[in-house]
Structures are given as C-alpha cells and as structure tokens.
Amino acid sequence: MFSSRMNPSSLLFGPLEELQELAFIERPIRRSLKTAEEIDQLTVDEDLNDIERAVYLLSVGQEVQRASVISNLPSLVRQNPAETFRRVVPKVREVLNGAGAEIQLAAAGSFLTILQDDIILIHTHTYSILKTVLLHLNHRDTVVSNAWLETLLSAINALPKETIKQEVLNPLLYQSQLSHSLQARLASCRILGKVACKFDSQIVKKELLPLVRSLCQDVEFEVRSCMCRQLESIARATGVDDTRTELLPELVELTDDEESSVRLAAFDTIINLMEMMDGDDRLHVVVPLVMSVCEVSSQADEAVLASLSFQFGKLCSGLAGSLSDEQKGRLLQKFKVLCVAGLQTEGNQTDGTESTLIRCNCCYNLPAMVVFSESTHFLSELYPSFSSLCCDPEVSVRRSAAASFHQVVKLLGSNVHLVHKEFLALLQDDALEVLDALMNHLEDTLEAVLSRGENLTLDNKFPELLSALLLAEQKVGCSLRWRLHEKLLQRYSCLARLLPGELLHQSFSPRIFIILTTNKVLPVQKEAARTFCTFLRYNRKQEQRQEMMERLIQDLAQGRSYWNRLRFLDVCETATEVFSRKYFNKHFLIPALELVHDPVANVRYKLCQLLPKLRSSLRLPADKQLLQQLDFCVQKLLCREKDKDVVATIRKFHKRQERDLLDQKKEKEETLLLEMEQLERQQSEGKLNSEKHTERKRRDSKTSLSATKSMSVSSSGATLSSSGKEMRKAKLSRSRSLSSQPTTSKSTNSDRPLKVKELSSTSGPGKSSMISSKDDSLRTAHFTMATQSTPSMPVLIRSNTTSLLDRASTLDHRSSTMEHKTSTLDQRDHRTITLDHRTSNMDHRNNMMEQRTGTMDHRTSTLDHRTSTLDQRDHRTSTLDHRDHRTSTLDQRDLRTNTLDHRDHRTNTLDQRDHRTSTLDQRSKTMDRGCAVKDNQSRKLSINRKSNSFSVQSGRD
C-alpha cells in the first residue's frame, strides 16, 4: 500500500482513475469547439452597417444568427424604422416560413415589443406586422400560437376600425365555428373581448353578440369559460340596457354550468358587473346567486369558495342596501365559516393550500366587513374571527392580518382597545415576515393606538406595548435581515410625537444609542442616527437634551475608536437635516471641526466630504467667527495634510469655495452695474426734464413778449395821438404868440437845460412832451434865423414870413418823422431790455446747468472711486472697467464740449445782440446830436425872428 502511494507517477498525476475521469470530461469540450470552416461561416464583414448586416445574416446566416437578428429587431426599428420595414421585415417573413419554435417565439416577442413601446407611428408598418401575425396565428405549437395571439391583441390597440373589421373580424367569424380547432376558438374569444371596445354599441350588438352567444354555448367548457371571462369588456362596450337584456341572462345560465370553472367565471363576471346593475337586478339576480353559493356545503368546490372569499368584501359593500337583516346575518355567518376554513379538518393536506388562500382572502376583506357589520358590533360579530386570523397557524395568514391591521384599527376608533392583545401578539410573532408586514404601516397603527383619550401612562397595557416594541427590535436586530431592521428604526421615529419625552429618554434612547455604537451595518447606523436625532429634537427637557448631547460628544466625537468618530460625522450629516441651522452650529459644528486633528485619515476624509454641508449651515454676519474657524481648518488641511485622498477632497472644497467667492464678486459687480445703469438713466431723465422745462420757459417768455409788444403798441399809439393833439394846440398858441405876445431870448435859454434833462431822463409817455417842446423850440429858432437873415428888407416881410412858415411846416414834417424814428428807437430800447432780461435768464440757467454739471462730476468721481476699488480686486475686470470709465469720461467730456459749444453759440448770439444794441445806441446818440444841432438852429431862428419882430415894431413906431 505504501509502495503504491510512493509511486512517482501517482505523486505527480494522481491515481489513474482520476486521470481517466478528467479525460472523459475534456472530450465534450473539444467536441464543442468550432472548426475553421464554421468560424468562416460565422464571420461577417465589419464595414457593413446594421441594416445591411441584418439582411446578410437573415439571408445566409445560421439559425442562431437569424434568431439574434430577429431579437434585435426593436433596436433596428428605433434607429431607422423606414429602412427596417423596407428591407429587414420582408426577410424576417421569409425566415419565418418553416422556421422553428425558437425563431417563431423571438419574432413574436420582437413584434410585441415594437407595438407596446410605441416605436412605430405609421399605420402601414402596423398593418405589415398584422399580416405577419395573422399568418402564424394558427401555429401547431400551442406556445407559439399563444405568443402570436398576444402580439395580435397588442396590435389591435394601434389599428384603425376599418383594418380591424376587414383583417380581424372577418377571419374571426370563420374561425369561431365548431369545425375549427379548440385553440382557434379560444383565440376568437379573446379577440372578441379585445375588439369590442373599438366599436360602438350598435355594431357590437349587431355583429358581435351573435358570435358571443354561440361561443357561450360551445361544447368545450374551456371555450365557455374563456368567453365568460370576456363578457365584462363586451358588457361595458354595449351599455347598461343591452347588458341587462342580452348578457345578464347568459351569465345567469352559465352560473348553473356543469363545470366549476365556468361557474366560477360567471360568478366573478357578475360581481364585477354589479356596478352596472340597478337595485332590482341586484335584488333578484345577485343576492340569490350569492346566497346559493354561501349555502354550499363544505365539500363544495374550493375554487368557488376561494373566489367568494376574495370578492366577499366587495359583495357586502355593494349589496348592503339590498339585503335584509336576516341576509346580512347569513353573510356574516358565512364569513365566520370562511375565516376558519380548513382548520376544523385534520390531516386534509390536499385542500390545505386552498383553505389557506381562503383565510388570507378573509384577512384582506376584514376592513370591509368591519364597515358592513358596524364597529359597535365588532366585539360580538367579528372579534372571534379577527382573533383567530391574527393567531392562525399559517404564517401567510398572520402576515395578511398584519397587513390589514392598521385599517381595522382606524375603523374601530374609540374601541381600539379591543384589539390590543392581537397587536401585541403580532409584535411578538416569531416570523419576521409578520413583523415586516406590520412595519409597513406601524406609524398609522401606533398613532391610532396611542392617541386615546385615557391616560396611557397609568394604563396597565401600556408597559406591555413598550416592552413588545423593544423586544421586536431586539429580535430583528439579532437576525440577518438588516433591511427590516432599518425599516423598523425608521418607523420608531414616530414615537417622538406619540410618547412622552421622559419615557423615550428612559426606554428607547439608550437602545437606539447602543445600536448606533455597536451595529456594523451602515444603513442601520444611519437610520439609528436619524431616530436618535429625532428623539433629541422632540425632547422637551433641557437637562435630558444636554445629557444626550454630552453622550454623543464623549462617546462618539471624542471616542477612542475611529469608528465611533466616523459615526459622529454621520450623526452630523443627519443633524443638518433634522435640526435648525442655529441649533446645529451651536452644538455640532465645533466638535466636528475639532476632528481636523484626528490621527486617522479616514476620519479627516469624511470630515472633508462633510465640509460643504457645514459651510452651507453658516449665515453671515451672525456666524462670522464660525466661518473663520472653518476657513482655518481648511487652510490647515491644505498646508499639513499628507494623505492624497484627503488632499484631493479638501482641494475640491477649496476650489468650490473660491468659485463661491468669485460668484459673490460677480454678483456685486452685476449689482454695481445695475446701480450705474439706474444712475445714468436718472441723469438722462433729468436732462430731458431740464430741456423740457427750458423749452416751456421759452414758450412762456415768447407769449409774454408778444403780449408786451401788443401793450406797447397800443400805449405808443395812444401817446402818438395825444402828442398830435398837443402839437396842434402848440401850433395855434405859437401862431397867436407871433401876432400878439413877443418872447424873449432869456426864456428860451432858460428852457434849454430843461429840454436836455427831459431828453436824457424821460422815456415812454414822457418823451411826447419832450417832442412837443422840441417842436416849439425848433419853430422859434427857425423864425429867429429868418429874421436875422433879412434885416434890410422891411417891404418884403409878408413874403418872407410865408416862406418861413413854409419852412416851418417842412421842419414840422421832419420833426414828426424824427418823432416816429424816436418811437421806433423806443421800441428797440424795449426789445433791448427784453433781450437783456432773456440774457439774464439764460445766465441763470447756465449757472444751474453748471451746478448740475458739478453734481454730475461729483457723482462721476464717486463712481470712479468705486470702479477703482473694483479694479484693485480684479486686475482684468479693472482694465475693462477702466476702459469703460475712460469711454464714459470721454462721452461726458464730449457732452460737456457740446454744452460749451452751445453756450458759445448762445454767447455769440448775445454778442451780436449787444452789437446791435450798441449800434442802436450810436444811432440814438447821432440822433441826439442832430436834435441838438436842430435845437441850436431853432434857437438862432427864434432869435432872428425876435430881432425881425423888433425891427418891424420899431419901423411901425
């Protein structure tokens, strides 16, 4: 024995039998390898596109390749539907002729996917698919035929009525005959139920109902059952009236069929159509049917009882108004029997599955039966059955009872204490499936149980409930079903709203903290952290909250295990969602930032991942110090960190922080630009308003000037008329004085300074008197000069006098002309005064514009200062802003230059006006000089006249 073991061949290769076994195993592997010829046949040119490759493989490829192409047909339709239906689908039809079941199933599945996903939008493509489906609908293989039937039923939804009527209904009438196969007639039943909803009630009644009646009376029970299942959709297509007269008698007849499957189908269809029936039909059709089914003995068909148990709640709710008290009692009694179905007979293993299904259906219908029997009669009518279902030996039944427990509790209201025992039993159930079903709606259940009016803390049942909740958590925690544990902890968070804080702090908070520190499953730890934070938030006592926070910091944040420190960061992440920012920054932020000194890189890495949330919890300027501490931690990590993962994470955060700062800077710049735009808009509006105001003043001044001109013209006319009258009177007086009263030269000389004074000081109406005095003096001077020139011709006194009088009239005409010119000069003087007034107004406006320009310069300087501040922050932006500032400054300078040019133009205009005024002044001076010369001449003339008068008088004497 030892020699055989020491054989070198046996040491290297093992026993001979094992080598033979290995060789036998290797043979099929070698046989399964492809030869070079087969590989060449499977090789396809890589330059072909998808459509060309599919056509090539369908033409010359092997069956595996063809099946692959047909399975990939939906993706080809998505990429290029037109080319696929033009080139690939015809090849698929050729391949399907005589193809095996595998290719047939692949084609049926591909066409079904195309129709269900609404990939095609053209009816012609659907029609082409319909042709292919109808061609292979009657395949000899039942599985393939059913696959093509499903494709046809899906295609009916996308086809128009005309196509369905021509391509589907006409063959359907032929296939529904008894001469065709059972499979064809079954397909006809399903097609009838599908196409009925596509047509109106008249077509359904005329063309489909006769075919439906014939199929309901088919010799095969499978056909009758299938057609009975389709009567619901046909009834909804025909309407209420036709259903009562045409279909309901057929259904009632089918309920008495010899086959149980037909009876079951008829029973289910009648219950589903109960909403379409009136009170009489329910009373005379449905109620007797239900009562007859309920009176069936226990040896009856279990399938009918299972269907009855599933529809029992719907039946009772729909027939509540049509049942008598006796019938209600009989239904309740039948429900009690169904709740214990299969429990009274022992050793009957064949019906155990159906009995369990019946009891599960009873659990499903419990809420409807509570409403049917009223909650006040729950204790006497339904409580024994409810308790039996909650303590059922089958786990599936107890799970169904736990799933509907929250609805029963809500319906009981104040009588919820009646099911307290069952609730504890479900919480303490050994099967975790029952706990899983109970946890789905545990919050609603606990809210209904714990929100009673009585004092729960003094209730003897209350400690039992708390202990049951804790035991359920421990049971789930000891198992390997961590998802159920996570769900349970999530549901326990509602206890913070339902239980007193003292009780939570004593019973649940320590247990949750133990889970947080000891459990190794990360989702369970995070859910425990959330539940603990929820308990902490809703605790009303400051001492207990402080104690819980100290425990968190001491055991987790400052714990010896780095695992606990990581859990503290998880708690911080949850606390940002549970607590307010103020509370979080006060109690959690500083301990979290202190972990920057942690010796374990994983803790620092976790802290770096948490930094964005910590940063988002800060609000300036209240949290400025905390922000400085956070920035200090970031800078410290950037300077001292050596772990590459931590460095990469902190750099990401730093870059994000820089982006935030840059974004804030951009926001400030945008705000400043908006302010500048508003300021420029206000300036432009101010300029427009000032221009409008100036234009308004100009219009007002023009109006006042025209009024003044009219007034001056009227006053000057009155003055001229009065002066004309005075001149006539003066002429008469002078003519009289020539004949009677001689004047002396002294009086004339004494009048001279007065005339000059009046000329220089009077204006307007006073000038008329001055003109009259000038006229007198001129005439006197004229006569005087005439007298001096002819002293030696006393004979010709009369002729000389007439000539002098003619000259005097000429002088009078000249003096009137001078008076008219003087009045014109007066008007020019008035215009000059008006122009002076306008000039002063323009100067005042120019001063106002200069003040506004100074204000704008001051604002511009302020904006320049702000822009320079921004320039210091960002060099590139400052360069652009500086250029913009220079451009705006040049624009402002151009504006100022235009304003100055406008002012210069106005100044030139005023200078021209001043020049005109000076010219008028010179003209007035020249006129004054001429008047003075004429005064001298008139004086001389008056002297001559006086001398002549004296000489004449002396001659007479």
Arithmetic mean of pLDDT, 20-44: 60
pLDDT reported for residue 342: 80
Least confident of 480-494, 577-591, 838-852, 873-887: 873-887
- What confidence tens digit (pLDDT) does each residue in 793-843 have? 333 333 444 444 455 556 566 666 666 666 666 677 677 677 777 767 777
Cα dist from 618 to 553, 557, 595, whole Å = 21, 21, 18
Flag whether pLDDT at 736 surpasses 60.
no
Supply the pLDDT for residue 876.
63
Residue with tokens 């042709």: 131
- The yes-or-no verdict on residue 713 having pLDDT over 80 is no
> How many helices (H) and strands (E) would you count in the chain?
51, 0
Position 847 pLDDT exceeds 70? yes
Band of pLDDT at residue 946, cut at 50, 70 and 90? low
- Alpha-carbon span 1 to 667, nearest angstrom: 93
Is residue 366 scored above 60 in pLDDT? yes
Mean pLDDT of 459-467: 79
Determine the average pLDDT of the residues in 106-122: 79
Chain Cα centroid distance, residue 476:
44
Q: In the structure, what pLDDT confidence band is assigned to residue 751 with cuts at 50, 70 and 90?
A: very low
Task: Give the separation between CA 726 and CA 836, rounded to whole angstroms.
Answer: 34
Which residues have CB under 8 Å from 461's CB, separation 6+? 417, 420
Q: Across residues 268-287, what is the average pLDDT?
A: 85
pLDDT in tens, 386-397: 999 999 999 999
Give 947's pLDDT tier (boundaries 50, 70, 90): low
Examine the pLDDT at 91 and tell me if it is beyond 70.
yes
pLDDT for 549: 92
Q: Is the pLDDT of residue 55 over 90?
A: no
Return the pLDDT at 436: 94
Sheet strands (E) in 292-358: none
Residue bearing the bigger pLDDT, 408 or 664: 408
Q: Which of 56-70, 543-557, 592-606, 693-707 has the lowest mean pLDDT?
A: 693-707
> Which pLDDT band holds residue 956 (cuts at 50, 70, 90)?
low
Structure tokens at 732: 């008469």
Taking residues 328-340, what's their average pLDDT? 89
CB atoms within 10 A of CB 804: 23
- Cα–Cα separations (whole angstroms), residue 745 to 410, 538, 751: 139, 127, 10
Give CA–CA dist 921/917, Å, rounded.
Answer: 6
pLDDT of residue 261: 87
Please report the pLDDT score of residue 948 as a whole number.
57
The pair of structure tokens assigned to 777 is: 């003096």
Of the listed ranges 41-50, 640-649, 655-664, the one predicted with least confidence = 655-664
What's the confidence (pLDDT) of residue 750? 39
pLDDT at 528: 94
For residue 540, pLDDT beyond 80: yes
d(CA 98, CA 88): 18
Whole-angstrom CA distances from 343 to 337, 339, 354 are: 10, 9, 12
Q: Tell which wins on pLDDT, 955 or 740.
A: 955
Of 46-50, 568-572, 620-624, give the range with the top mean pLDDT.
568-572
Does 297 score more than 60 pLDDT?
no
* pLDDT of 763 above 70: no
pLDDT at 439 over 90: yes
Q: How far apart are the first and last CA of the chain?
A: 211
- What pLDDT does residue 766 have? 44
Whole-angstrom distance, CA of residue 426 vs CA of residue 401: 9
Percent of the chain clearing pLDDT 90 (strictly above): 15
DSSP readout, 469-489?
HHHHHHHHHHSS-HHHHHHHH
Mean confidence (pLDDT) of the chain = 76
Per-residue pLDDT at 791 = 38
Per-residue pLDDT, averaged over 431-458, amounts to 80
Ranking 7-11, 373-377, 486-490, 618-622 by mean pLDDT, the lowest is 7-11
Where residue 519 falls (left for φ over 0; alpha for ψ -120 to 50; beta otherwise) is beta
Which is nearest to 435 in space by CA: 387, 485, 388, 495?
485
Distance CA 539, CA 557 (A): 22
Model pTM greater than 0.85? Answer: no
Nearest to 335 by CA among 357, 320, 313, 356: 313
pLDDT over 70 percentage in the chain: 73
**Could you check whether the bond before residue 621 is cis, i.e. omega within 30 degrees of 0?**
yes
Report the alpha-carbon distance of residue 587 to residue 67 in Å, rounded: 66
pLDDT at 391: 93
Give 527 or 759, the one with higher predicted confidence. 527
Task: Lowest mean pLDDT of 197-211, 529-543, 841-855, name the range.
Answer: 841-855
- Report for 12-21, 589-598, 882-891: range of highest mean pLDDT: 589-598
Residue 484: predicted pLDDT: 94
Q: State mean pLDDT over 759-785.
A: 42
Q: How confident is the model at residue 762 (pLDDT cuts 50, 70, 90)?
A: very low
Indicate the pLDDT class of residue 759, thresholds 50, 70 and 90: very low
Across 235-244, 289-298, 873-882, least confident range: 873-882
In the block, tokens 């990581």 appear at: 566
pLDDT category, 672, cuts 50, 70, 90?
confident
Tell whether the model's pLDDT for residue 243 goes beyond 60: yes
- pLDDT for residue 441: 93
More confident residue, 513 or 155: 513
For the cut 90, the answer to whether the pLDDT of residue 425 exceeds it is yes
